Amino acid sequence: MTYRSLIIYISIIVPFFIWSGLGAKRLDLWFAETLPLVIGYIILIRSVRSFPLTQLSYAIIFIGSILMLTGAYYSYSHVPLFEYFKDIFDFERNHFDRLVHFYQGVTVTIISREIIIRLTSLNSLPWTNFFAMISAAAFAAIWEVIEWVFVLLVVSQGVVEPDYGFLGEQNDTWDAQSDMFFAIAGSGFAILVFRSLQDKLIKGLPFVPDECEHP
């Protein structure tokens, strides 16, 4: 069932991927923004037989993929709906990338919780949630460092100007810190909203040691 679900999600993602690439203003930046997504799906395909995830995890990954491809298509800082919000609420920037980082926190937390529950002997629900949130915060921080290194490399090579706004920075001095905050907020949201459902779905999957089940 999980294998079939993954195939369905991929069959929907592929047209979105093509649409995003064909409409991208700069293919080099589009490639940099979508490469993590490609790597993620390769891992999912290779592990679906040996370590299938819950339907919840696959659904959350799928929605996150749509958000990332939409952001890559519009260079994040020009997503029309959020341009509309920008005008209505008199925002100084397009906040679509904030939504993506919030959802990044949701995704990493859900995947981390599933891995911790199924592959470790940690039987404390509070500690499971804590380490899942730490994983989301660490991932967000590493993501920001990668963006920073990328910017340094492309600027030093003269590929782009220093103020070109990679991934929707939009000249925001606190962009990295804000992105990490929203990822952590998304992590907390994921635990509050999806914890019970995820625990129930995990119990229906194989590879769940008895000592890992939460009381």
- pTM value? 0.86
pLDDT in tens, 57-106: 999 999 999 999 999 998 888 889 988 888 888 887 888 989 999 999 99
Residue 202 CA from chain centroid, whole number: 21
How many distinct structural domains can be found in the chain?
Answer: 1
CB of 68 within 8 A of CB of 37? Answer: yes
At 203 the pLDDT is 87
> Could you list the residue range(s) of the whole structural domain that residue 191 is in?
2-212
Q: Cβ(57)–Cβ(110) under 8 Å?
A: yes
Angstrom distance (rounded) from CA 76 to CA 64: 14
Q: What is the DSSP string of 28-72?
A: HHHHHHHHHHHHHHHHHHHHTTTSPPPHHHHHHHHHHHHHHHHHH
